[in-house]
Homo-oligomer: A and B are copies of this chain.
């Protein structure tokens, strides 16, 4: 059914639309265009996540939720801080066995998300993709939830399928939205359009409202795929919001350092998450940082 995007407050987006123990997808890639305001709000409202699905390359967004103890299971192609090293809370939780990991490989993850977005129950993997020999663990052998073998009915050969990804809720960050809920990305859109469509409920946090989408938009998500949106300037911080501000190197570096220990993470959490985005803005000196990190137009 075509959706009608509702404008809501950040708090209400989470309180009304994210059920406890849902499958939650996170948009963006690495520390770019992450739905950080929504992630912080999930932590404030302590919403447990049944399965977290960071879109293809997860970062501090997923790491924070795992660190806050809210994630039972995480489906990953990549979860790390890229140029800032491993994801410390994911690492600690996976090593301690307190989060279940569903490893997918990158192409399969992309195909599974695209299948979910297109209303298909599964996708074919490339021919020749099979478990490793010699009994060493590998994808797909370690992930029987998402990978299954069939006989290719056209050739009789063995072939792997991957299950579609269809989160209950997708959390997306973008730069622009118009009066009809159509969303615009000034820079990369990664797998955000696919993630938005694959989810039952799509929540968008956006930098700014426009009467009509500006021509700077490189890609657009139609409003008929959006359930609700909230306007949060700086909502992708400490990551970048392409075309608006660059990622905050100082902040990310400090997180990567602090989150190596339990108490360091708790210190970050105590200082930064607060009770509202206004508190986050004050603690992170958001306005100053956003201004200092102002990004030129893309391209």
Q: Which A positions have Cβ atoms within 8 angstroms of B?
A: 111, 115, 118-127, 148-155, 159, 161, 163
Contacts of A118 in B (CB 8 A): 111
Q: Is the CB of A122 within 8 A of B152?
A: yes
Among B119, B154, B159, B163, contact of A126 (Cβ-Cβ < 8 Å): B119
Which listed residue, B124, B152, B163, touches A115 by the CB 8 Å rule? B124
Q: Is the CB of A121 within 8 A of B119?
A: no
Q: Nearest 5 pairs between A and B by C-beta?
A: A148-B153, A120-B124, A154-B163, A122-B124, A150-B153
A selection of 12 A-B contacts at a CB cut-off of 8 Å is: A111-B118, A115-B124, A119-B126, A120-B123, A120-B124, A120-B125, A121-B159, A124-B124, A124-B161, A150-B151, A153-B161, A154-B163
Report the Cα distance A126→B122, complex, angstroms. 10
- A121 & B163 in contact (Cβ 8 Å cutoff): no
> Is there contact, CB below 8 Å, between A121 and B155?
yes
Chain B residues with CB below 8 A from A149, complex form: 153
Chain B residue with the shortest CB-CB distance to A163: B154
Please determine whether A121 and B121 come into contact, CB atoms closer than 8 angstroms.
no
> What chain B residues lie within 8 Å of A148 (beta carbons)?
153-154
Give the complex CA separation of A150 and B154 in angstroms. 10
Chain B residue with the shortest CB-CB distance to A159: B121
Q: Once bound together, how far apart are the Cα atoms of A149 and B121, in whole Å?
A: 14
Q: A84 → chain B, closest Cβ, in Å?
A: 32
Q: What's the nearest-Cβ distance from chain B to residue A38, in Å? A: 29
Q: Give Cα distance in the complex from A126 to B118, angstroms.
A: 9
Give the docked Cα–Cα distance between A163 and B120 (Å): 15
Q: Which B residues are CB-close (under 8 A) to A123?
A: 120, 123-124
A105 → B minimal CB distance (Å): 14
Quote the shortest CB–CB distance from A156 to chain B (angstroms). Answer: 11
Which of B115, B122, B124, B151 meets A121, CB within 8 Å?
A: B124
Cβ-defined contact, A121 with B152, below 8 A: yes
Point out the residues of chain B lying under 8 angstroms from A154, CB to CB: 121-122, 148, 161, 163
Q: In whole angstroms, how far apart are the Cα atoms of A151 and B148 in the complex?
A: 11
Given the complex, which residues of B lie within 8 Å of A127, measured CB to CB? 120-121
Considering the chains assembled together, what is the distance between the CA atoms of A148 and B155 in angstroms? 11
Residues of B contacting A153 in the complex (Cβ-Cβ under 8 angstroms): 148-150, 161
Residues of B within 8 A of A125 (CB): 120
Instruction: For the complex formed, measure the closest distance between the CB of A182 and the CB atoms of chain B, giving whole angstroms.
Output: 16
CB distance from A88 to the nearest CB of B (A): 34
Contacts of A120 in B (CB 8 A): 111, 123-127
- The CA of A125 and the CA of B119, in the complex, are separated in Å by 9
Chain B residues whose CB sits within 8 angstroms of the CB of A159 once the complex forms: 121
